[in-house]
Amino acid sequence: MPEPISPLAVRAYTATSALGRGLGDHLRAVESARSGLRPNDFGDAPLACWIGRVPGVEDSPLPAHLASWECRNNRLAWLGLNQDAFVDRVREAIHRYGADRVALVLGTSTASIGATEEAYRRLEDGRFPADLARPGVHMPHSLTAFVAEALDLHGPALTVSTACSSSAKVFACAERMIRLGVADAAVVGGVDTLCGSVLFGFNSLELVSPEPCRPFDRTRRGLSLGEAAGFALLERVEAAPAVPRLLGYGESSDAHHMSTPHPEGLGADMALRDALQRAGLDADQVDYINLHGTASLKNDEVEATLIGRVFPARTRASSTKGYTGHTLGAAGIVEAAFALLAIEHGLVPGNLGGDQPDPVCGPQFAWHNERRDVHIALSNSFGFGGNNACLAFGEAAA
Amino acid sequence: MSGLRIHVEGIGLWSPQLADFPALHTWLAGTPAAVPGAKPPAATLPATERRRAPESVLLAVEVAGQAVAMSGRDAGGLACVFGSAFGDQTITDYMCETLARAPTELSPTRFHNSVHNAPAGYWTIATGCHAPSSAVCAYRDTLGAGLLESAMQVLADSQPVLFVCADVAGTGPLGDVTHSTQAFGCALVLSPDVSPRTVATLALQVSRDAATASPPPILPPAWLEANATAAAALPLLSLLAGHGRHCHIAAAGTLGLHIERENLA
């Protein structure tokens, strides 16, 4: 079993999704139970489904000095970085520690593959058109390379691409780097944007719902895809004692199937217990769990059973995918932001869309918003390939 | 910062020129090595999976299997980090081509095999591994960044870790852009402690110098130009084969990894 870790300060964090730009928009959406999902209008021949699209990405080109990185995913990354004074917090960290002592670890599942798809739609004599012949945007590291340049970071830089657990696992990488002295601070996060690959890919697996997704509803019909960007800045607690904390993380593999979860939630259970162990917590100390809860039939069933098995009735649990859709590689960071908002504002988000609770869901489920103290919050993220991650956050010590 | 000391217990290698690490040894000693078959054998996969798995998975599983076999470790208990600069370029080419022509015809199997962590997924399923698995990339710096991440996992949790780095050749219009001209994969089993299985001890030092040192001139240009993974890996593998004392590989934009091979105690 893992040893408990020293907590890290979450000096700053931000999220941009279909709910809007920055934490204020996310908090207000939850307070008024307003979903960001809308009928699919993405692409030339949209599938009949609902999506969580970030408004205005098309009208937000990158600044001229970053134009070589132009693509939807990097645009959304830039939009996301420029909320909640996040860039200022990073500049301060660079000032404190030096640009080569601030690590950058970002998660994404498809990075800027939307640009590669466009290049294939517009081939000229079998080759990429000149404006898209930019190798940097046709590789999975595009997002991280772009953000490193945009923020002028020169420390360790890594992209984690483990499907839907990507931007949860980045917290674990950053903690290890800071603990072992390779960095003094770390920018973590993730970005994924809507593109043909994921819309038609999940459609081919028959996992896309024709209506807005309804996590944990007994008549749920699958997931709604979304896009989002989110970031957090991690430092040692001594440097920022009065902010929320990363208390622990857990990672595991299902070793079961490429695209369906282990039927008993074995890997999810291991990641959860690993996170609690590193955080030095017992399950009954957990106030809120932001669930993976994609609204796919099997995943929700397995996760709900796990929650019922491990946690007492007083622990609250909900999925926020009814708000944002499933933002894939960005889901981990966006849902970490929801968990942190729950801690900072004493607000447990209701499980939007779950109007007829699946009988497998226990008393832990919060079907409507609840005002209560949240000292400890977890966030679950599970991805294709049976890749699981669980994060544990806590309030600043009193 | 002091160096990060890790111990290598297993080494895997596959390229169209050399089938494994002993073959590299032989070749570096000046003796011709047997040419491998057209596809990485990937014997760790069950036969049905082996028939269906894409080349990127076969390559990663082959080198991972070699490294773990050399280490004598149980693959089922090993945390693993799978690096690939470009992921499965063959599938990306297929998906982008299909999306441009007939998007609703996209193959569900090809789609779920397209995730960057497909090799990690197939590997953990085949070996019954419930330990953490990851899939990482850093473009031309993938080998260095992945090795650093693996070393972090070894030292932070005091556990052995399997590190794999593999890239297949590019195909289609995407291949023109990635300049990945042939398959190359390597793998290391890394441990926090010296054991009877230790074959080399490495001290890693993060440095501000990203410039990659010239690889030994004995390596054939075809490999070095194969892809970014091969170009970074061959100096490291030569070092592990007993040639030289240190090498320097890029780990991020302006960050390097200085690697020193220490004498076994």
Cα(B245)–Cα(B261) distance, integer angstroms: 5
pLDDT at B210: 67
Mind telling me how many Å the CA of A330 is from chain B's nearest CA? 14
Residue type, A320: T
Whether A292 is catalytic is yes
State mean pLDDT over A174-202. 98
Residue B28 is inside which H or E element, if any? Answer: helix B21-28
Q: Across the strands, what pairs with A290?
A: A318, A379
What pLDDT band is residue B264 in, cutting at 50, 70 and 90? low
Mind telling me how many Å the CA of A396 is from chain B's nearest CA? 24
Q: Which of A211-220, B15-24, B204-213 has the highest mean pLDDT?
A: A211-220
Of A215, A233, A224, A292, which Cα lies nearest the Cα of A261? A292
Q: At what angle do helices A86-97 and A72-81 cross, to 10 degrees?
A: 80
Indicate yes or no: CB of A161 within 8 angstroms of CB of B131. Answer: no
Q: Is A384 on the interface with B (CB under 8 A)?
A: yes
Q: Of the residues A26, A262, A326, A390, which is catalytic?
A: A326
Whether A326 is catalytic is yes
Mean pLDDT, all residues of chain A: 97
Alpha helices in B114-262 (DSSP H): 118-127, 142-156, 172-178, 221-224, 228-240
- Residues 6 or more apart whose CB falls under 8 angstroms from that of B51 comprise none
Size of interface A-B (CB pairs under 8 A): 222
Q: At what angle do helices A331-345 and A166-179 cross, to 10 degrees?
A: 70
Cα(B233)–Cα(B210) distance, integer angstroms: 15
Asked if the model's pLDDT at residue B213 lies above 70, the reply is no
CA A112 centroid distance within chain: 17
pTM: 0.98
Mind telling me how many Å the CA of A159 is from chain B's nearest CA? 5
Which residues in chain A are closer than 8 Å to B104, comparing Cβ atoms? 200, 203-204
Task: Give the tokens for residue A71.
Answer: 């693509």
Q: Which of B112, B137, B177 sits opposite A205 (nearest CB)?
A: B112
pLDDT at B73: 98
Q: Which of B112, B132, B138 sits opposite A158 (nearest CB)?
A: B138
Mind telling me how many Å the CA of A380 is from chain B's nearest CA? 15
Q: Which tens digits make up the pLDDT trace of B67-95?
A: 999 999 999 999 999 999 999 999 999 99
pLDDT at A19: 98
Which residues in chain B are closer than 8 Å to A258, comparing Cβ atoms? 112-113, 118, 121-122, 125
Asked if the model's pLDDT at residue A75 lies above 80, the reply is yes
What pLDDT band is residue A397 in, cutting at 50, 70 and 90? confident
Residue type, A102: V
pLDDT at A21: 98
State mean pLDDT over A137-146. 98
Q: Is the ipTM of this complex over 0.85?
A: yes
Mind telling me how many Å the CA of A28 is from chain B's nearest CA? 34
Tell me the backbone φ, ψ of residue A32, rounded to 5 degrees.
Answer: -105, 10
Whether A262 is catalytic is no
pLDDT at B227: 81
pLDDT at B2: 54
Nearest CA in chain B to A142: B139
pLDDT at B1: 46
Residue type, B58: L
Higher pLDDT, A45 or B82: B82
What pLDDT band is residue A44 in, cutting at 50, 70 and 90? confident
Task: Give the tokens for residue B245.
Answer: 């004392």
Q: Is B129 on the interface with A (CB under 8 A)?
A: yes
Q: Which of B95, B128, B253 sits opposite A148 (nearest CB)?
A: B253
Q: Of the residues A26, A49, A71, A164, which is catalytic?
A: A164
Q: Is B103 on the interface with A (CB under 8 A)?
A: yes
Indicate yes or no: CB of B208 within 8 angstroms of CB of A200. Answer: no
Q: Which tens digits make up the pLDDT trace of B118-144?
A: 999 999 999 999 999 999 999 999 999
Indicate yes or no: CB of B176 within 8 angstroms of CB of A251. Answer: no
**Cβ atoms of residues A197 and A78 within 8 Å:** no
Of A355, A150, A135, which Cα lies nearest the Cα of B180? A135
Q: Across the strands, what pairs with A316?
A: A288
Beta strands in B72-221 (DSSP E): 79-83, 133-137, 161-167, 184-191, 200-207
Residues 5-64 of B with CB under 8 A from A: none
Asked if the model's pLDDT at residue A324 lies above 80, the reply is yes
- Residues 6 or more apart whose CB falls under 8 angstroms from that of B115 comprise A109, A161, A162, A163, A383, A384, A385, B121, B135
Judging by beta carbons within 10 Å of its beta carbon (0-12, 13-18, 19+), is residue B41 exposed, middle or buried? Answer: middle
Judging by beta carbons within 10 Å of its beta carbon (0-12, 13-18, 19+), is residue A63 exposed, middle or buried? Answer: exposed
| Conformational region of residue B16, where left means phi above 0, alpha means psi within -120 to 50, and beta covers everything else | alpha
Which residues in chain A are closer than 8 Å to B252, comparing Cβ atoms? 148, 154-158
Q: Which of A140, A160, A201 sits opposite B134 (nearest CB)?
A: A160
Task: Give the tokens for residue B158.
Answer: 């005091």
**Cβ atoms of residues B166 and B119 within 8 Å:** yes
Cα(B151)–Cα(A31) distance, integer angstroms: 44
pLDDT at B214: 59
